[in-house]
């Protein structure tokens, strides 16, 4: 539908058409209106229609006599309201027939002016009011709908939900948030034009499922759709329909039978929390909100808010888990891994399993990691100076940090500031990082090795690498994933895969480190298979710095 301009014209006047077969009536109305409006005139219905079509973009109002030759006023009104380009132009009917007044209003006229005409000020007031109302409606129409999908924008969506609740206070309703899975990948794969088509298809599919009587829909942000609908239980089927129709995967967060005592935005915050809960799931596509999710979300918000203060106050402490070389007759302490713990002043010790994924998802992990790297380097330097003991300690690098062009400079500065050497601090890089963008990661790892840093591939065996890729990677050690070890020693006690990995490592000329070793049975079996280094609770849990120092002294 073509939109009409609602701007004031250069001469400060809006355009009005007077359609009346009486010359005297046309002249009289023009004299009344010409000081404020630019006036067009037509003496019959067909001429009026042609003028309206030609000026449809700028015409602000039509004054329409019902009794005209060639095309009557009512017939012209029907044509105008059936045409998408003209149906929003307000029409004021000029008539002396009260019955026609009612019929005109039913057909879509905005108002009527009776004949004989009332005082000029009355005519001007009714015209001004009709134009004002029409332009307000057009402004609302332009802002209440999302340009791409035609669904409501958030502001109007919330208004209509509020209006629905007002008239249906006891109806059981669901607040639902639909999100596109891995939306950023769609943009990279297909480009913005194709993604726009996909979003339109999703909107059309949702609109077909939730009729106007059953649900209110809006698009929020790029790839999020909100729906307020009668309570139902078939959301998996709805997602299946969208996925098959649009060629994508979506997830739904559902705040079922929502509490109407909550404000509307809070209801959809809960639905969004439920949807985000499964954002990284590959086989779960619906999630229903409960209060536990809200508590987790509030807890996460608190951790994010207090993160800068925690860094400043050094609430994060570095623990050290020993690694033992088991190739000789007796296990020998050979190195350690630095692991971070958060000791909150009021919450106590917070599990890394809670804050590390949170910081990874919010871009804070780089700040925390650099803090850990520096604190670890300071400890290594202190032990070398006071105890004369040098035991290498490995630190973790996230996948995102491997894309940092300044990474090598960062470690050079840390080692330079603390007086340790690159041989004192090992770098653990996850297997998945090598796979995500192998060329760039391999280049970064090669730079680090060229500067003397020892590289361990962490979490090996989690299922990412091909044997061909492993043979080309610049690494100094393979570290077996904890679950890989655990699964090998389950009820079947099948260690053949570990044996194969050790053979591969021997071919590559690098040692194998087994993480998560907890029992003597595991230790003895790994030693027999030729594993070089053991880390896990069998030897020691992660220790605070002072306890690890005692271990060094002994």
Q: What distance, in Å, lies between the first and last C-alpha atoms of the chain?
A: 83
pTM for the full predicted model:
0.61
Give mean pLDDT, residues 211-231: 88
- Where are the extended beta strands (E) located within 66-163? 91-95, 111-114
Q: What is the DSSP string of 373-393?
A: HHHHHHHHHHHHHHH-----E
pLDDT tens sequence across 157-169: 998 899 889 888 8
DSSP run (H or E) holding 126:
helix 120-144
* pLDDT over 50 at 279, yes or no: yes
What's the mean pLDDT when you consider all of the chain?
88
Is residue 176 within 8 Å of 253, Cβ to Cβ? yes
* pLDDT over 70 at 192, yes or no: yes
**Residue 3 confidence class, pLDDT cut points 50, 70, 90:** very low
Percent share of the chain, pLDDT over 90: 61
Is residue 352 within 8 Å of 339, Cβ to Cβ? yes
**Domain topology for 307-553:** TIM Barrel (3.20.20)
Tokens of 43: 């003496």
pLDDT tens sequence across 354-396: 999 899 888 899 999 999 999 999 999 999 999 999 899 999 9
Task: Say if strands 173-180 and 393-397 run parallel, antiparallel, or are unpaired.
Answer: unpaired
154-289 homologous superfamily: Reverse transcriptase/Diguanylate cyclase domain (3.30.70.270)
Domain boundary assignment for the chain: 14-143, 154-289, 307-553
pLDDT tens sequence across 493-534: 778 888 888 888 888 889 999 999 999 999 999 999 999 999
Give just the sign of the alpha carbon dihedral 498, 502, 507, 511: positive
The angle that helices 73-82 and 98-107 make with each other, rounded to 10 degrees, is: 10
CATH architecture of structural domain 14-143:
3-Layer(aba) Sandwich (3.40)
CB under 8 A, 24+ apart: contacts of 132-139: 133/90, 134/60, 134/61, 134/88, 134/89, 134/90, 134/110, 135/6, 135/60, 137/88, 138/3, 138/4, 138/6, 138/88, 139/6
Return the ∠ at Cα 213 (arms to 285 and 261), rounded to 5°. 70
Percent share of the chain, pLDDT over 70: 93
Tokens of 52: 């309206």
Give just the sign of the alpha carbon dihedral 363, 266, 240, 152: negative
Say which residues have a Cβ less than 8 Å from residue 475's Cβ, sequence separation at least 6: 445, 455, 456, 457, 508, 510
Structure confidence at residue 246 (pLDDT): 86
* pLDDT over 60 at 57, yes or no: yes
**Residue 212 confidence class, pLDDT cut points 50, 70, 90:** low
């Amino acid at each position: 539908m073509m939109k009409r301009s609602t701007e004031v014209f250069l001469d400060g006047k809006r355009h009005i058409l007077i359609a009346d077969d009486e010359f005297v009536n046309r002249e009289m109305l023009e004299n009344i209106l010409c000081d404020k409006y630019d006036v067009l005139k037509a003496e019959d219905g067909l001429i009026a229609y042609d003028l309206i079509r030609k000026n449809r973009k700028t015409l602000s109002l039509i004054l329409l006599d019902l009794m005209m030759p060639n095309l009557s006023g009512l017939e012209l009104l029907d044509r105008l309201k059936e045409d998408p380009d003209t149906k929003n132009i307000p029409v004021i009917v000029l008539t002396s027939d009260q019955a026609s007044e009612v019929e005109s209003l039913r057909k879509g006229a905005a108002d009527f002016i009776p004949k004989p005409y009332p005082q000029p000020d009355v005519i001007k007031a009714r015209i001004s009011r009709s134009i004002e109302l029409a332009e307000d409606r057009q402004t609302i129409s332009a802002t209440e709908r999302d340009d791409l999908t035609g669904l409501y924008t958030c502001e109007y969506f919330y208004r209509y939900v509020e209006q629905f609740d007002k008239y249906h206070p006891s109806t059981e309703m669901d607040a639902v948030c639909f999100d596109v899975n891995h939306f950023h990948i769609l943009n990279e794969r297909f480009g913005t034009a194709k993604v726009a088509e996909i979003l339109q298809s999703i909107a059309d599919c949702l609109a077909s499922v939730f009729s106007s009587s059953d649900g209110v829909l809006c698009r929020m942000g790029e790839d999020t759709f909100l729906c307020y609908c009668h309570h139902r239980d078939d959301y998996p089927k709805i997602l299946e329909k969208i996925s098959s129709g649009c060629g994508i995967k979506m997830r739904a967060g559902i705040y079922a039978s929502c509490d109407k005592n909550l404000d509307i935005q809070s209801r959809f915050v809960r639905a969004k929390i439920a949807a985000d809960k499964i954002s990284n799931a590959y086989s779960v596509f619906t999630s229903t909100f409960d209060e536990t999710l809200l508590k987790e979300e509030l807890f996460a918000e608190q951790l994010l808010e207090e993160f800068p203060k925690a860094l400043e106050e050094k609430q994060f402490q570095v623990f050290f888990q020993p690694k033992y070389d088991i190739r000789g007759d007796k296990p020998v302490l050979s190195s350690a891994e630095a692991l971070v713990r958060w000791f909150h002043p009021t919450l106590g010790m917070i599990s890394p399993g809670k804050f590390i994924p949170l910081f990874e998802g919010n871009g804070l992990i780089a700040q925390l990691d650099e803090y850990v790297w520096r604190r670890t380097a300071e400890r290594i330097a202190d032990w070398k100076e006071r105890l004369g003991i040098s035991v290498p300690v490995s630190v973790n690098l996230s996948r995102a940090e491997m894309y940092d062009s300044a990474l090598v400079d960062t470690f050079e500065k840390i080692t330079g500031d603390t007086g340790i050497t690159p041989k004192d601090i090992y770098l653990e890089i996850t297997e998945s990082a090598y796979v995500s963008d192998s060329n760039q990661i391999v280049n970064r790892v090669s730079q680090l090795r060229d500067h003397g840093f020892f590289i361990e591939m962490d979490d090996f065996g989690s299922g990412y690498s091909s044997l061909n890729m492993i043979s080309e990677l610049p690494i100094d050690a393979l570290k077996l994933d904890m679950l890989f070890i655990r699964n090998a020693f389950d009820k079947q006690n099948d260690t053949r895969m570990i044996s194969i990995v050790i053979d591969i490592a021997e071919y590559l000329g690098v040692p194998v480190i087994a993480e998560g070793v907890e029992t003597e049975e595991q230790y003895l079996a790994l030693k027999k298979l030729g594993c070089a280094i053991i880390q896990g609770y069998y030897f020691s849990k992660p220790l605070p710095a002072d306890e690890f120092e005692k271990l060094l002294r002994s």
